[in-house]
Amino acid sequence: MSQQENGPVMRPWLDPDAVPFIRIRNITKKFGAFTAVNNVTLDIYHNELFCLLGGSGCGKSTLLRMLSGFEQPTDGSIEIDGQDMAGMSPCDRPTNMMFQSYALFPHMSVEKNIAYGLKRDRLPRGEIADRVAEILKLVQLEEYGTRKPAQLSGGQRQRVALARSLVKKPKVLLLDEPLGALDKKLREETQFELVNIQETLGVTFIVVTHDQEEAMSISTRIGVMDQGKIIQVGEPREIYEFPQSRFVADFIGSVNMFEGQVIKDTQSKVVIHCPDAQMDIEVSHGVSCASAQKVAFAIRPEKIQMSRTKPKKALNLTRGVVQEIAYLGNLSIYHVVLDSGKAVRVTRPNLERADEHAVTWEDRVYLYWDGTAGVVLNT
């Protein structure tokens, strides 16, 4: 469902000549002495569904609020569609926002809530009614038009808020945790719907979330934030497979991290001495770092092979004991404790319904991976 596989035409960020739709330059926001957003520079292209991902309090909402005009940046500039946003009030900006708290008007019915923005544009009545009906259908709330927000469930309120921000078809739609209150199933449906809406309306979306799975599944690109800074921007696959820092590797998905020291560094391979992993890990790509530098080797749980018998050929091989198995249905998570005492997470898909040869508790196993399975992180 994400658009990352659609080839270079749909990936303007790979094209150096492409003109960004939203240009954020060195933007900083301070609340007193506290810096909520710290020198963020970001380009977002037309028709993107850009996800801002980060822990609680890292400044995601603040960044959105500066885009929508509710906070004035302490420093830096924002340009949308070639227009400088400095000093422009929220009601004149080409953005609409869906608030984290939904911010529905409690004294208006669902229909009136949604129609409010259209009325401000002085559209003819008939058209307003048509568009409200259309958007209600889209968010599956046709029967709820006359209810007041307080008479709706959390998930329904969220969809009203979504509908209200969508109905004006703004150039940029800012969504602050749009799906936070939905249960898993409805959430997945709505994610799908969101992507559909985005593709049909041709609106540029910026979505804030702290659910990394959601970010991975819906976005064209993800910006990972921490303590007011954008740490890495990239396509979901890039962020997952090639994290550039320990924080990103750790934040997105789960990861095994081995601390070590570079003992060999050539064009085509690096060897890292890791006492934790009881071996020298070989990585078949070069890293630009000083020799003897302390680094971390990060490897995803699903990239580690596991067997009870010793593999014939393995570049990186270590041993441990299975201490814990969590059965999740489609896959199982194994906690393997290496002889050094380091715990490693390994996930294996459950391909057979009943597998007598499966690894069980207390089994002594070999863990191994090849040279491209993990990444070396020096920040």
Partner 1 sequence: MQRKSRLVLIAAILGFIFLYAPMVSLVIFSFNKSKLVTVWGGFSTKWYGELFQNAQILNAAGLSLRIAVISASLALVIGTIAAFVLVRFGRFRGRNLLTGMITSPLVMPDVIIGLSLLLMFVAMQNLIGWPNRGMTTIIIAHATFGAAYVAVVVQSRLRDMDLSVEEAAADLGAGAVRVFFDITLPIISPALISGWLLSFTLSMDDLVITSFVSGPGSSTLPMVIFSKVRLGVSPDINALATIIILIVSVGVIGAALAMRKKDMPHG
Ligand X SMILES: Nc1ncnc2c1ncn2[C@@H]1O[C@H](COP(=O)(O)OP(=O)(O)OP(=O)(O)O)[C@@H](O)[C@H]1O
Min dist. Cβ of residue 77 to partner 1 (A): 21
**Is residue 318 part of the contact set for Mg ion (CB under 5 A)?**
no
Q: How far apart are CA 114 and CA 106, in angstroms?
A: 12
Tell me which amino acid residue 59 is: G
Tell me which amino acid residue 319 is: R
Q: Classify the phi-psi angles of 313: left when phi > 0, otherwise alpha if psi is within -120 to 50, otherwise beta.
A: beta
* Dihedral sign for Cα atoms in the order 333, 182, 57, 219: positive
Q: How far apart are CA 54 and CA 63, in angstroms?
A: 12
Binds partner 1 by CB under 8 A, chosen from 45, 99, 240, 247: 99
Binds partner 1 by CB under 8 A, chosen from 12, 20, 54, 149: 149
Size of the site for partner 1 (CB under 8 A): 27
State the burial class of residue 49 (Cβ atoms within 10 Å of its Cβ: 0-12, 13-18, 19+). buried
Binding mask of the shown chain, residues 17 to 56, with x at each position contacting partner 1 by CB under 8 A: ----------------------------------------
Min dist. Cβ of residue 214 to partner 1 (A): 22
Q: How far apart are CA 248 and CA 242, in angstroms?
A: 9
**Please, are residues 219 and 1 in contact by the beta-carbon 8 Å criterion?**
no
- Of 54-62, 212-220, 236-244, 318-326, the window that binds ligand X (rule: CB under 6 A) is 54-62
Which of the residues 186 through 225 are near ligand X (CB under 6 A)? 210
CB closer to partner 1, 148 vs 303: 148
Tokens standing for residue 226: 């921490």
Beta bridge partners of 35: 30
Binds partner 1 by CB under 8 A, chosen from 13, 39, 74, 103: 103
Min dist. Cβ of residue 150 to partner 1 (A): 4
- Of 55-63, 116-124, 125-133, 288-296, the window that binds ligand X (rule: CB under 6 A) is 55-63
CB closer to Mg ion, 62 vs 347: 62
Which of the residues 93 through 112 are near ligand X (CB under 6 A)? 100
**Please, are residues 277 and 338 in contact by the beta-carbon 8 Å criterion?**
yes
**Is residue 164 part of the contact set for partner 1 (CB under 8 A)?**
yes
Q: Classify the phi-psi angles of 74: left when phi > 0, otherwise alpha if psi is within -120 to 50, otherwise beta.
A: alpha
**Is residue 58 part of the contact set for ligand X (CB under 6 A)?**
yes
Which of the residues 61 through 80 are near Mg ion (CB under 5 A)? 61
CB closer to Mg ion, 61 vs 347: 61
**Please, are residues 113 and 167 in contact by the beta-carbon 8 Å criterion?**
no
Binds partner 1 by CB under 8 A, chosen from 33, 34, 82, 89: 89
Q: How far apart are CA 373 and CA 354, in angstroms?
A: 28
Which letter, b or e, does each residue of 186-198 get, where b requires 16 or more Cβ atoms within 10 Å of its Cβ? bbbebbebbbebb
Min dist. Cβ of residue 39 to partner 1 (A): 25
- Of 50-58, 88-96, 162-170, 181-189, the window that binds ligand X (rule: CB under 6 A) is 50-58
Q: How far apart are CA 123 and CA 69, in angstroms?
A: 24
Question: Which residues are near partner 1 by CB under 8 A?
Answer: 68, 70, 89-91, 95-97, 99-101, 103-107, 116-117, 120-121, 148-151, 164-165, 168
Question: Which residues are near ligand X by CB under 6 A?
Answer: 31, 34, 36, 54, 56-62, 100, 210
